[in-house]
Amino acid sequence: MKQKNQVIVLVVLVVVAALIWSFEWRQQTRSMQTASFIEDYKGLAVENPQIRWQELERAQKTEYKSNGRNPFSSIAPPTPAEVQKANDAKLQQSGPVLPPPPPPKPTTASLPPNLKYFGFGTVGKGTPRLAFFTDGEDTFIVTEGDTLLGRYRILKVGNTILEFQEISSGLPGTTPLDEQATPPSA
């Protein structure tokens, strides 16, 4: 009896599958709908669809030349005659216009003005000295040879002066001990 039930269930499933397959076969799929849309397409009316090589080469050889106008400004640029007249007037007033000399290169580095060196100390004998800094809110403790804020390498912690080097430029610098700068209170 058990085998007879299995055969009945199999026959019912085959009939259901056949019904679903026949139902789906009759309906139009999306790919068929797309194909009918493509069949109805009418192309643009172009007289000569060939590539015009001469016009393409002429366009490729064209160089852009700016007239000096700012496209984001509603003010028209001065004409070349106006520019020449203004240059002549400047030349008559003060002689030839020379560009300003470049600023001198700094020879020493300095810490930011908000950063104060307010003390030093040691942990034990034979250990490097510690330097204490404050920027008003935070306190930084840095040993000799370490970096401060990722920008300054502490070279020597003295009793009255701290020697450091700015890492990016390699410029040496010193800063005095500021006894009036106090660390932030906890």
Domain boundaries, the chain: 116-176
Q: Give the whole-number percent of the chain exceeding pLDDT 70.
A: 85
Q: Helix, strand, or coil here: 18? A: helix
Mean pLDDT of all residues in 156-167 = 86
68: left (phi over 0), alpha (psi -120 to 50) or beta: left
Q: Which residue has the tokens 């809110």?
A: 137
Specify the range with the lowest mean pLDDT, choosing from 10-19, 31-40, 138-147: 31-40
Bridge-based pairing of strands 139-143 and 130-134 is: antiparallel
And the tokens for 53?
Answer: 């090589």
- C-beta of residue 163 within 8 angstroms of C-beta of residue 131: no
Contacts of 120 (CB under 8 A, 6+ apart): 129, 130, 131, 132, 157, 158, 159, 162, 177
Distance CA 174, CA 47 (A): 81
Q: Is the pTM of this model over 0.75?
A: no
Q: Helix, strand, or coil here: 10? A: helix
Q: What is the pLDDT of residue 83?
A: 82
And the tokens for 139?
Answer: 């306190």
Q: What are phi and psi of 24, to 5 degrees?
A: -70, -30
Is the confidence at residue 157, as pLDDT, over 70? Answer: yes
Mean pLDDT of all residues in 122-147 = 83
